Structure 1
Amino acid sequence: MTVPRILVVDDEADLRELVEITLLKMGLDVDSADRLSTARAFLQQHDYALVLTDMRLPDGLGIELVREVTGGAKNIPIAVITAFGSAENAVTALKAGAFDYLSKPVGLDQLRLLVQSALRISTAAPAPGKVAATASNGTALRLMGESALMRDLRTQIVRLARSMAPIAITGESGTGKELAARDIHAQSARADKPFIAVNCGAIPEALMEAEFFGYRKGAFTGAAEDRDGFFQAANGGTLLLDEVADLPLAMQVKLLRAIQERRVRKVGATIEEPVDVRLISATHQNLAECVEKGKFRQDLYYRLNVIELRLPPLRERLEDIGLLADAILAKLAGPEGKKAHLTPEALAALRSYAFPGNVRELENILERALAFANEDVIEVADLALKPSATVNHDAEPPAAVVSAPQPAVAPPVTEQPVLPDIISEAETITVDSQSGKPSLPDLPIMLPDYLDQIEREMICQALGKTRFNRTQAAELLGISFRQLRYRMQRLNIHEPD
């Protein structure tokens, strides 16, 4: 069995010796170079499982070596060593294709974790150009489609899975951002480690630090035992920050430190502990606009948005609808049920629909249509599509999938008549004709019940306007889909029969 060989490039003799001794103790072969020219000569002579280079060298910059190695045919992982506090250099290197980075002074635990990750990539990653149609564990319904956009997207996922660079997944609601994150994890060398998805908009602000970083026994009332947070749970694997734009500013500061230091401190603890986590963030909002409005920290934005992966809306890949519909109907049929099928006219109608709610809306449409279909045959009438939401087939879809940061604009919600059987279930709130303000009830009052009444009416009104499309209703109310679903369950709001 061939022993993996590592190339260390640094002009500091003491640091080179420290790294070399650490790698030799791990059972690896090591070559050392103090300048770019020597490193290039080594790369011509040997194959390496990892190249580790300083950013500043006597005859040039380490970023030059990063571009040469990542652009070569050997596909070698390369990591950089940056000076303390030089976050900009790390981000630049990651955007140039670096696998990962270490900050000076180099922590040996972090060095070992980085090397182990690189070795897993060298031995387990697919060959360049090989694209999997599904995730490596064979999970169904993950970014399905044979359109050019989806083939390009899967190619990008295979490439991005080899890196530790943070990825920001953008796209409209319902495009499958979490599925993309799961595919990146499944195609990576971390596939056998945990994948933890966190909805940042669903955690109460008072509990965020404890949920993310864990807590010690007795740290606060109710902390009866030590508990790990999301970072510890995802250690060695991938942490998805879903709806990251909903993080409050105070938590953004603490998250930024955890990302930069790669260490977290539990609530009530006095020491930090190292964590090895690959971060992926997702949002349907435009983070750049959130930064301009002061709702999102600029430094955190640049740390999370090293690489942006844009998911195309369904209306830009309508040729995939037949494949998606078949998969969804098979899932709805269950293991023993008879799968329904669409008539040619129904499939054509779906391909002429704009899908403001994307794949999630397609699932809702087919689930509803299945309830009205006769003998498992879905007709056009069973789909109950909104006639105003049609797509322009002559429009050219964008070719790029991975791109510079750009806004993920939510589609306009089509106004629809209010459903009487929904709104009639809620009490109405009177308005003072003189001031135009809501007329408040007389005291004393049960405030929780009154607030529930108002919340119920607003949710029912939004659901009525969108014909019970929960994705669009959530956008009207300015909350996430999951928050709406939680409130509907709490208030016992159901779709009318």
Structure 2
Amino acid sequence: MSNQTALIVDDEPDIRSLLEITLGRMGITTYTAADLSSARALLEEHKPQLCLTDMNLPDGNGIELVQWIQQHSPSTPVAVITAYGSMDTAIESLKAGAFDFVSKPVELPRLRELVNSALKLSEPKVQKTTEADNPGLLLGNSPELRKLRNQTRKLARSQAPVFISGESGSGKELVARMIHLQGPRAEAPFVAVNCGAIPSELMESEFFGHKKGSFTGAVENKVGLFRSADGGTLFLDEVADLPLAMQVKLLRAIQEKAVRPVGDTKEIPVDIRVLSATHKNLPELVLSGDFRQDLFYRINVIELAVPALRERRDDIPLLAEHILERIAGEYECDPATLTSAAIDRLKSYDFPGNVRELENILERAFTLCDEDRIDAGDLHLGGAVAQGSAARGPGNGGGELSDLVPEGEIDLEDYLETIERQAIEKALEATRWNKTAAAKRLGISFRAMRYRLKKLGME
């Protein structure tokens, strides 16, 4: 291994020796200190790539050292060794800026895992553009966005659980993904799960897996989300939607760093970083008894607030340009540009659905605008879309609409897609599959035709 170095700070000679031997076998050169003052001197002299410190030291505590390193050598990851079961101390150290913690008695496999992760942070970055360098929809030059990107970069260096708060559509999953991609777990899986989308009776099996035959329908072994994310990051979106019974099991899995698949007798260790998010007010749910306080403290070690789009209106033109370029790429068309009137209209709109709503508005406008220019009227913001023209669409030969809608329950999306598909097929057949002529016949632009063909899988 290369000349990697670590500083071990502990006033117990036995523990210092154990850590020295373990790190020595990993090819790491170690320096040792028995107190804070000598630790500071060694840190300034040798600039090690990692620091491991005990919590209780003769002249202070580990958190003081974490804070000192944050000020004087912020690029040095520091892990804290805590007494068994003292979770509050571990959380306090993470909030102070510790990379991670390990409990006494120190489990050597867990220590090696931690050391390897920490050293990845010290590796010189290869100069190439990676997914982590692409801000995606975290684009913008507003102070709010710059602050968010800086916080994301800083949190990526830690292993602390992060709770991401923000309105629906503001980009919470994107923030979680950026934390993962910029950290030492970037090469491992990023598994995102919407907690509100899993039926409660399947939740335990989805999270922790199951053994074949453990219940009706369990025809084979299932790994589960926790083990799928092993070595990487598990992102729990809409975590407020978890039922109380599942909250207890989730807390245990996070605390023990292990899961027990349904129908199994033994626990399987997992190494994951947990990030979570919801648009709901979690502190309120804790007060009302709908969310467990102990789980809230565990997942909310550090809170990161994602600003709403209306709080950073100056970022809208840049975001819109990026979204329109992406849409043009997807539909293999030339990008459309926004007129200054359209930009002003967007900047004056409140975006209750945030960035996700901006994407939907622009995608719709892109397919309906003329000649690659989107004007304010193409955005259809506020006020109903002219319904008369829509109702008198081509092919609706004055028949009563109620005659066309089947009786009983229908899946509206599927039903409308079927009608759209039939109308397009009819127009294409009538024009011998000339897409330009078919678009004209349907009263839509060629681009709108391309968009619909792609959306319906009819290309």
Q: TM-score range by the shorter chain?
A: 0.7 to 0.9
TM-superposition CA deviations, 1:124-163 (whole Å, max 9, x none): 5699xxxx9x974455733111222212211111111100
Once the two structures are superposed, residues 270-316 of structure 1 have per-residue CA deviations (whole angstroms, 9 ceiling, x without a partner) of 22222111111111111111100111111111111111111111111
Give the structure 1 partner of residue 364 of structure 2. Answer: 368
1:483 corresponding residue in structure 2: none
Specify the alignment match of 2:178 in structure 1.
Answer: 183
Q: Please say if residues 173 and 284 of structure 1, whose CA atoms lie closer than 8 Å, have aligned partners that are also in contact.
A: yes
> Could you list the per-position Cα deviations for residues 394-445 of structure 1 after superposition, in whole angstroms to 9, with x for gaps in the alignment?
xxxxxxxxxxxxxxxxxxxxxxx9xx99xx98xxxxxxxxxxxxxxxxxxxx
| Distance in 2 of aligned mates of 1:184 and 1:173 | 19
1:267-282 matched pairs, under 5 angstroms? 267-282=262-277
Between the aligned partners of 2:224 and 2:190, the Cα distance in structure 1 is 13
DSSP 3-state at the match of 2:191: strand
Matched, 1:32 2:32: yes
Deviation at 1:227, TM superposition (A): 2.1
Aligned to 2:381: 385
Deviation by residue 1:356-376 (Cα, 9 ceiling, x = unmatched):
111111111112222331222
- 2:45 is aligned with 1:50: no
CA RMSD, 1 decimal: 2.7
Q: 1:334 aligns to what SS in structure 2?
A: helix
Tell me the CA shift for residue 74 of structure 1: 5.3
Give the aligned residue type for 1:210.
S
Query: Structure 2 stretches of 5 or more lacking a match?
Result: 392-400, 413-455
CA deviation map 1:44-96 (0-9, x unaligned): 32121111111112222111111111121352100111112111111100000
Residue in structure 2 matching 1:332, options 327, 330, 336: 327
Report the residue type matching 1:102 in the other structure.
V
| Range with greater deviation from structure 2 (231-240 or 335-344) | 335-344
Give 1:115 deviation, angstroms: 0.3
Distance 2:215 2:231 in 1: 28
Distance 1:197 1:55 in 2: 34
Q: 2:208 aligns with which of 200, 209, 213?
A: 213
Match of 1:249 among 244, 250, 259: 244
The one-letter amino acid paired with 1:378 is I
State how far apart, in whole Å, the 1-side matches of 2:216 and 2:88 are. 40
Which structure has the larger Rg? 2
Q: Report whether the alignment pairs 1:265 with 2:260.
A: yes
Q: Figure out how many residues of one structure are paired with residues of the other and give that number.
A: 395
| Residue aligning to 1:481 | none
The 3-state SS of whatever aligns with 2:263 is coil
Q: Is the 8 A contact 1:365 1:383 kept in 2?
A: yes
| Mapped partners of 1:342, 1:293: distance in 2 | 46
Partner of 1:84: 84
Cα 1:74–1:249, aligned 2, differ >3 Å: closer, same or farther?
A: closer
Q: 1:295 to 1:139 in 2, by over 3 A?
A: same
Contact 1:125–1:189 (Cα < 8 Å) also in 2:
no
**How many angstroms does 1:183 deviate by?**
0.9
Distance 1:74 1:146 in 2: 25
TM-score by length of 1: 0.74
Aligned twin of 1:151: 146
CA contact (8 A) 1:70 1:78 kept: no
What letter matches 2:363 in structure 1?
E
2:353 to 345, 352, 357: 357
Instruction: Spell out the pairing of 1:410-489 with structure 2 (5 A cutoff).
Output: none
Are the equivalent residues in 1 in contact too, given 2:137–2:319 (CA < 8 A)? Answer: no
Number of the residue aligned with 1:395: none
Greater per-residue helix proportion: 2
TM-score by length of 2: 0.80
